[in-house]
Structure 1
Amino acid sequence: MASFVTEVLANSGKLEKEDLGTKISRLSRRVEELKGEVCDMINKKYDEFLPSMQSAEDLVKQVHGLVSDVDVLKSQIENEVKSELRVAVNEFTELKQQLEKNTIILAALEQLQEFDSAIEKYNCTLSEKNYISAARHLERAQNNLNLLKSRKGCELKVLKSLGIELTVQKQNLLYHLGEEWQQLASWKLPPSKEHSSLEMILKTELHLCTSLSSDESSSAPLLGSVLQAFAILGELNTKLKFFSQLLLNYILKPLVSHPSLHVEVETHQHSVILRFESIETHWEHPPPAEVFLKLRLVFELLHKHLLDVPVEDSQQNGETSKVLLAEVLGDMIWEEISESVIKDCLVYSIPNNSNKLEQYQEVINCTEEFENALKGMNYLKGDATDLLKYARNVNAHFASKKCQDVIVMARNLMTSEIHNTVKITPDSKVTLPKLLKPEVSEKGTKEISLPRETSALENDVKLSQHTFALPTCRVSESVQKLMELAYQTLTEATASSKPCAIQLFYTVRNIFHLFYDVVPTYHKENLQKLPQLSAIHHNNCMYIAHHLLTLGHQFRYHLPVPLSDGAATFVDMVPGFRRLGTECFLAQMRSQKEDLLERLSNAKTFCNMEDEENYTTAHKAIRQVIHQLSRLGKVWQDVLPVAIYCKAMGTLLNTAITEIVSKITSLEDISTEDGERLYTLCRTMIEEGPLVFTPLPEEAKNKKYQEEVPLYVHKWMKFKELMTILQASLQEIVDRWADGKGPLATEFTTNEVKSLIRALFQNTERRAAALARIK
């Protein structure tokens, strides 16, 4: 049988009568024959030694002839057969491609037929309200369309029209499903978007259909059919997401945030209506048990009439699994409703006192019951959620709330008025709580024994009980309450758990840090302008520093480790508070000094007192200084401690008389009348200046301190000596100088005395002799 290539070449009319196959086979046979003859010849020549030269030459000729025939045949194959083979291969490739194209077209036609069949079946099932089948037919049509679009080389213009048709039919099905869903669960919402007001919330209603199917002959419940169809179309999560947001905003969250709001359920033959009613209550924030009861009623109603439906959910591996609708909705709303319950309910149920922590177990129990009920209805899955964790972590929340309340109270006290004061005396005492004796720690450390007084260490002369007491002064009522708050908080810490105690202790430290930062900033303007407030602030800081010295030690052994090991201390804050009070009061003192010097600057240099206008100006300046000191005395005397008051007033009075002395000693010429008038001005200061030290009636025991004016006014004696000089003769001046050993020499330098003599007396021999004595 001829080969396929031979037949193709023969049919094309380009091959000779005797085909190549025949020639090749004949040549092969002739080669074999020749091979035998050659072998036979060589055998005879070398083996049998027969003379066969002639026959050998004949054979050589025959071999050359066969080689020539083979070359001709090879050339013919190269030139003719191979070219014809290329043509045959190209024709075969074209036929194969045509066959593949026809196969693709047939498959596309088959998918088009399946698409059309799916759409027809969809229309039929939709008219019968068999929504699950309708959705599956649409899904099948979508799969066919996707396959058509994915095929290479199949770019039919009809695909665009098919896509539009599929979209229209899907939206048509979604419309019908939406209408059915609207019948199953319909909302009546308030007209206003502001649904936070109680009046608007009361207008909210949710209607749930209780009938199983739209057609009594239908075997599948309508609710399950609608929801499964939504799931097949991939719209179930979208629909439930919208429903969950309405449920949260219009039902669940209002029930949590409004104590007077309650659920009312109205049952009919084929439906159930959920609406609200308002019941007057005295609760500002609803208790957790009441909130959980109301929420549970809503969840049970939804579970019974709407959400207890299994829906098939397609997995990535192609398998399907049953998913409960309640579980899907629970995943959507649980995080948000938990946050609302914590923020609007549980936060306010945290007790303010550690004594009430045991009662909080009821809240933990009702929270656990609420979550277990939701797990039973498949809203929740897994172990304890954030809601229960929050309730169980009551100790930490109690500490945080307590600390927050303490900080808020402290800040309110710091920003209240400073001028409302109370009087503090050495007999004033802070009522300390009764603390239990230090117990043995959990690690078994020994009980710390406080040092006892022993007679061997006692001295014959004992200190007064008021030795380390704060001197009598006035402090702000708010600061006294602030210290009471600190003591109360530390007392609370001694009865709390270890983490809570540590947190409360450092909250007390934060109170004082806050005072250090807030008060000088908040009251800055008043502290600068009002001398009384700067004095009160000074006392406040000293009062706090006084308590901080012993505050930590009083509670140290009643606090947990590491506080009891020495960390419970406030002593490090004492220098800062003392500096804070001192700097504020010193700033006020500098301001008062500037005012005094400014008033005295109006008197110019006290020169030419013969001029009535100059004398009046100087007298007015002196009166203004005395008035300023008197005014300061009134606002400071009952506020500052006696020692601080005397020192402050003495410093200001000293500033005034130092300036007066400086101005008078700088005069170059003082007439007799000028001297008289200057003496009168100085006498006014001598007579009225010490009046600022006059004690109040209730300070009679402090009179001895306030009568020692020179102790606080360093230039007082110099001022008196100046007055003496203004009235004295040359001889009296020389006598008071007493060769540099008299009272005048104690207060004035040689140059100052000589300058005054030259200004007061004319240039005579007696003045020259007196000047010579001053050395």
Structure 2
Amino acid sequence: MASFVTEVLASSGKLEKEDLNGKISKLSRKVEETKEEVCDIINKRYNEFLPSMQGAEALMGQAEEVSKEIDILKSHIETEVQHNLHTAVTEHAKLKQQLERNTTVIAMLRHLEEFHIAMEEFHKALLEKKYVISAKQLEKARHSADSLKAWKGSELPLLRALSSELTVQRENLIYHLGDEWKRLAVWKLPPSKEATGMKSFLKTELQLTLGGTKDSQQNPPPLLSCVLQALAIQGELQHKIKLFSQVLMKYLLKPLIMYPSLNVEVSEQQGEGTLLSLQCAETPEEHPSPSQVYTKVLVVLKTLHTHLLGRNSWFPTHRLSLRKVSVILGDLVWQEMSHCIIHECLLHSIPTNSSQLEQYSVVIKETEEFEKSLKEMQYLRGDATELLKYARDINCHFASKKCKDVIVAARKLMTSEMHNTVKITPDSKLSVPKLPSPGSGDNKGKQKAKKLEVPRLENEKQLGALTLCLPVCRISESVQQLMELALHTLSEAVGSSSQCATQLFFTVRNIFQLFYDVVPTYHKGNLLKFPHLAAIQHNNCMYIAHHLLTLGHQFRPHLPDPLSEGAATFVDLVPGFRKLGAQCFLAQLNVQRAEMLERLSTARNFSNLDDEENYSAASKAVRQVIHQLKRLGTVWQDVLPVNIYCKAMGTLLNTAISELIAKIMMLEDISTEDGEHLHILCQTIIEEGPLVFIPLPEESKNKKYQEEVSVYVTKWITFKELVIVLRANLQEIVDRWAEGKGPLALEFCSSEMKSLIRALFQNTERRAVALSKIKDS
């Protein structure tokens, strides 16, 4: 009966799990029993040798029945049980999905609840001016809203309203914080149109109010601190401090740095906080000293640190890396402030003399103390700052400033008037700075000096006192000052660091290179127009070249390496300056020579002088030439050295008489009257030409040297012989020819003399005889 019921239930698909377990257990027991019986029979069959065929057949039957039941059960499991398991898994998945949706809804509801609570707390704290709590609650509400937006597919219309509400309330909070900030840090600024001069900044004031309560028992944080923290939480602190730093820099720190007469005054006002204002104090200084600047800036920053920034501890950790207000303000103002201090203060404090460099260590120490104070107040981070680096590089800055000043001064001298001159004599000396004696205090140097000593011989000839001295002449006063400037600059290089000395040395070289390029270009027109300036420029170049020969040797032993090893030299510049001076004066000589030839060209070739107009034109041309020579003599004689002056005047006079000789030799017919007139004109030149060589009273010792006209006028003797021929008869000419050995033969060739005889004398037998005697020896 039970088996029938079981089969009915199994066929209907309602077999319970307990029945399956029971049947399986029953089968397991049967299998065990069968196994025991089989083992027992096998033992009896093989071990005890009691074969029982009947028992084995029975057992085989039982085994077959068990096998059939196993197959039936297996088929049942594969069909019914597996189907039921799949159905159960599907139902479980649906239940799980439904549970997840319910969990999501509950979480969203919880975030909505948190958003609502945060907004309620926000409004409550905002009304009570608890700005830090308000900012935190608003951030919680924003976080809840962001969490609601994080689920995919959750497009609730409510989210738009929540985002809009957050934006409105954030702007509301920021407005309140900004309003409180304006009330707690009040600026009084000069009108923008007036903020151009020092006096306009006297209207600048900054009033700081903490906004704390008078109730000392509760001791809540000051309102200003709460405002700054709330701004930090909302991410607006950087913007507010940036605007504050811009006003602070423009109207308070920069004026204090730029104007030495401005000072800052800090006053505590009862119940109103701290007031910073600018005051004026008269001072003759154009630029403030570093110590004054550091003191004034520290007063402002310490006041801010004490009353505005110092009471704010490090803000709580937030999604942003929040920093202390002083750190933010320091990062914003440091670069501009240090740049202003460098260019408005430290730049002007650089010494102008190398002897003052040691005293500058005080400024370096003051700069270190200034930065140390800023680091203690957390305005400044790091060690390698541009301000301290600039102060420590004083040698480099001194050299740069010195070089710049030297170049500016040199250029000013080069573009000044050249006609202001000073007289140079062999006794003239430049004010050379006192240099340490080579090897002083150095045994090695003394030994080296001893080795250089050469024993003097008894009959040894000594150089004269004036050897290698410049001859007496005049140079521009500006050039003498330029050379003194070069000497002073080189003296500054003595004892300086290698970098500084090298920079100063090459600045001196640049001075002379600048002179070489600037002066001929800047004064080009005047050098061609005025003979006086051309002569001065010639002397200037020769004067500079003269000193460049020994300038490097004079300073080389006192300069650091590599200058002392041979790099300190100016000798390579000497040929260029000599050439420059010679070219300038030669250009002027060519101008004067061209003028002289142009005047002589108006003499109508000195022909037909029996005509009054022709004679007048020729006489005028000769007079103009003599006047030109006298004028140049007046201009040049006191300027040029004696030998240069004589050579220059001799060259011009030689040009005039050479042209006159050429014109006369070209004449084919010279009448007696023409010859007389030519003799008069030439005699005028012979009498007045040498007058330009007459020495000045102070040059009387050079009288003989200067009056040797033929030394400088190569055609002078030729000209004098021509003048003699113009009045001589044929016999006198033949006698002075002396068969090609006389003075006349030394100056003219036979063809020239024959041509001249044919022009002066008519064709007669006597002329023919004379011509036959004119032969080359």
Indicate the TM-score class for this superposition, using the shorter chain for normalisation: 0.7 to 0.9
Who is 2:578 aligned against? 578
For 1:664 and 1:352, how far apart are their aligned partners in 2? 69
C-alpha contact 1:228 1:312 (8 A) present in aligned 2: no
RMSD of aligned Cα (Å): 4.6
Q: Provide Cα deviations, 1:589-631, integer angstroms capped at 9, x if missing partner.
A: 1221122122222224222323322222222222222222111
Who is 1:295 aligned against? 297
Q: Provide Cα deviations, 1:112-134, integer angstroms capped at 9, x if missing partner.
A: 66555544443333222222232
Who is 1:268 aligned against? 269
Write the mapping of 1:219-258 to structure 2, written as runs, cut at 5 A. Answer: 219-258=220-259
Query: Which residue identity lines up with residue 253 of structure 1 in the other structure?
Result: K
TM-score by length of 1: 0.82
- Offset of 1:737 from its aligned partner? 2.9
Q: Structure 2 vs 1, CA of residues 371 and 442 (structure 1 numbering), >3 Å: closer, same or farther?
A: farther
**Unpaired runs of at least 5, structure 2:** 1-78, 80-88
Write the mapping of 1:342-353 to structure 2, written as runs, cut at 5 A. Answer: 342-353=342-353
Bigger mean CA offset, 303-312 vs 214-223: 214-223
Who is 1:124 aligned against? 124
Q: Structure 2 vs 1, CA of residues 241 and 320 (structure 1 numbering), >3 Å: closer, same or farther?
A: closer
Q: Secondary structure at the match of 1:310?
A: coil
Query: Which residue identity lines up with residue 741 of structure 2 in the other structure?
Result: K
Q: Provide Cα deviations, 1:533-555, integer angstroms capped at 9, x if missing partner.
A: 11111111111111122222222
Write the mapping of 1:255-404 to structure 2, written as runs, cut at 5 A. Answer: 255-271=256-272, 272-310=274-312, 318=319, 323-383=323-383, 385-404=385-404
Who is 1:522 aligned against? 522
Who is 2:176 aligned against? 176
Q: Structure 2 vs 1, CA of residues 148 and 758 (structure 1 numbering), >3 Å: closer, same or farther?
A: farther
Query: Which residue identity lines up with residue 136 of structure 1 in the other structure?
Result: K
For 1:403 and 1:458, how far apart are their aligned partners in 2? 50
Who is 2:537 aligned against? 537
Q: Provide Cα deviations, 1:472-507, integer angstroms capped at 9, x if missing partner.
A: 111111222222222233333334344433333333
Who is 2:34 aligned against? none
Who is 1:744 aligned against? 744
Write the mapping of 1:383-532 to structure 2, written as runs, cut at 5 A. Answer: 383=383, 385-439=385-439, 448-449=448-449, 454-457=454-457, 459-532=459-532
For 2:611 and 2:90, how far apart are their aligned partners in 1? 137
Who is 1:718 aligned against? 718
Q: Provide Cα deviations, 1:648-698, integer angstroms capped at 9, x if missing partner.
A: 111111112212222222223333322222222222222222211111111
Bigger mean CA offset, 398-407 vs 460-469: 398-407
C-alpha contact 1:181 1:226 (8 A) present in aligned 2: yes
For 1:489 and 1:447, how far apart are their aligned partners in 2? 30
- Offset of 1:259 from its aligned partner? 1.3
For 1:90 and 1:753, how far apart are their aligned partners in 2? 148
Query: Which residue identity lines up with residue 519 of structure 1 in the other structure?
Result: V
Who is 1:612 aligned against? 612
Q: Percent identity?
A: 60
Q: Secondary structure at the match of 2:448?
A: coil
Q: Secondary structure at the match of 2:288?
A: coil
- Offset of 1:468 from its aligned partner? 1.4
Q: Structure 2 vs 1, CA of residues 263 and 348 (structure 1 numbering), >3 Å: closer, same or farther?
A: same
Q: Provide Cα deviations, 1:575-600, integer angstroms capped at 9, x if missing partner.
A: 12212211211111122112212222
Q: Secondary structure at the match of 2:606?
A: coil
For 1:201 and 1:535, how far apart are their aligned partners in 2? 58
Q: Provide Cα deviations, 1:12-56, integer angstroms capped at 9, x if missing partner.
A: xxxxxxxxxxxxxxxxxxxxxxxxxxxxxxxxxxxxxxxxxxxxx
For 2:619 and 2:98, how far apart are their aligned partners in 1? 128
- Offset of 1:111 from its aligned partner? 5.6
For 2:156 and 2:445, how far apart are their aligned partners in 1? 90
Who is 2:679 aligned against? 679
C-alpha contact 1:438 1:447 (8 A) present in aligned 2: no
Q: Structure 2 vs 1, CA of residues 214 and 156 (structure 1 numbering), >3 Å: closer, same or farther?
A: farther
For 1:188 and 1:312, how far apart are their aligned partners in 2? 30
Q: Secondary structure at the match of 1:133?
A: helix
- Offset of 1:423 from its aligned partner? 0.8
Q: Structure 2 vs 1, CA of residues 227 and 760 (structure 1 numbering), >3 Å: closer, same or farther?
A: same
Write the mapping of 1:701-712 to structure 2, written as runs, cut at 5 A. Answer: 701-712=701-712
For 2:210 and 2:295, how far apart are their aligned partners in 1? 23
- Offset of 1:373 from its aligned partner? 2.2
Query: Which residue identity lines up with residue 245 of structure 2 in the other structure?
Result: S
Q: Structure 2 vs 1, CA of residues 417 and 737 (structure 1 numbering), >3 Å: closer, same or farther?
A: same
Q: Secondary structure at the match of 1:670?
A: coil
Bigger mean CA offset, 763-772 vs 521-530: 763-772
For 1:628 and 1:97, how far apart are their aligned partners in 2? 124
Bigger mean CA offset, 703-712 vs 568-577: 568-577
C-alpha contact 1:196 1:254 (8 A) present in aligned 2: no
Q: Structure 2 vs 1, CA of residues 93 and 531 (structure 1 numbering), >3 Å: closer, same or farther?
A: farther
Query: Which residue identity lines up with residue 720 of structure 1 in the other structure?
Result: K
For 1:385 and 1:700, how far apart are their aligned partners in 2? 71
Number of aligned residue pairs: 731
Who is 1:191 aligned against? 191
Q: Structure 2 vs 1, CA of residues 506 and 767 (structure 1 numbering), >3 Å: closer, same or farther?
A: same
Bigger mean CA offset, 190-199 vs 636-645: 190-199
For 1:462 and 1:274, how far apart are their aligned partners in 2? 80
Q: Secondary structure at the match of 1:754?
A: helix
Q: Structure 2 vs 1, CA of residues 162 and 584 (structure 1 numbering), >3 Å: closer, same or farther?
A: farther
Write the mapping of 1:90-239 to structure 2, written as runs, cut at 5 A. Answer: 115=115, 118-144=118-144, 152-154=152-154, 163-212=163-212, 219-239=220-240
Bigger mean CA offset, 193-202 vs 760-769: 760-769
C-alpha contact 2:210 2:222 (8 A) present in aligned 1: no
Q: Secondary structure at the match of 2:191?
A: coil
Q: Structure 2 vs 1, CA of residues 438 and 155 (structure 1 numbering), >3 Å: closer, same or farther?
A: farther
C-alpha contact 2:736 2:744 (8 A) present in aligned 1: yes
TM-score by length of 2: 0.82
Query: Which residue identity lines up with residue 621 of structure 1 in the other structure?
Result: A
Write the mapping of 1:637-656 to structure 2, written as runs, cut at 5 A. Answer: 637-656=637-656
Q: Structure 2 vs 1, CA of residues 176 and 742 (structure 1 numbering), >3 Å: closer, same or farther?
A: same
For 1:526 and 1:632, how far apart are their aligned partners in 2? 16
- Offset of 1:108 from its aligned partner? 6.8
For 2:504 and 2:647, how far apart are their aligned partners in 1? 40
For 2:107 and 2:125, how far apart are their aligned partners in 1? 27
For 2:225 and 2:180, how far apart are their aligned partners in 1? 11
For 1:632 and 1:640, how far apart are their aligned partners in 2? 11
Q: Structure 2 vs 1, CA of residues 741 and 103 (structure 1 numbering), >3 Å: closer, same or farther?
A: farther
For 1:142 and 1:682, how far apart are their aligned partners in 2? 117
**Unpaired runs of at least 5, structure 1:** 1-76, 78-88
Q: Structure 2 vs 1, CA of residues 320 and 289 (structure 1 numbering), >3 Å: closer, same or farther?
A: closer
For 1:511 and 1:379, how far apart are their aligned partners in 2? 45
For 2:757 and 2:149, how far apart are their aligned partners in 1? 123
Who is 2:84 aligned against? none
For 1:104 and 1:521, how far apart are their aligned partners in 2? 91
Q: Structure 2 vs 1, CA of residues 312 and 367 (structure 1 numbering), >3 Å: closer, same or farther?
A: closer
C-alpha contact 1:682 1:723 (8 A) present in aligned 2: yes
- Offset of 1:328 from its aligned partner? 1.7
Who is 1:597 aligned against? 597
Q: Structure 2 vs 1, CA of residues 465 and 536 (structure 1 numbering), >3 Å: closer, same or farther?
A: same
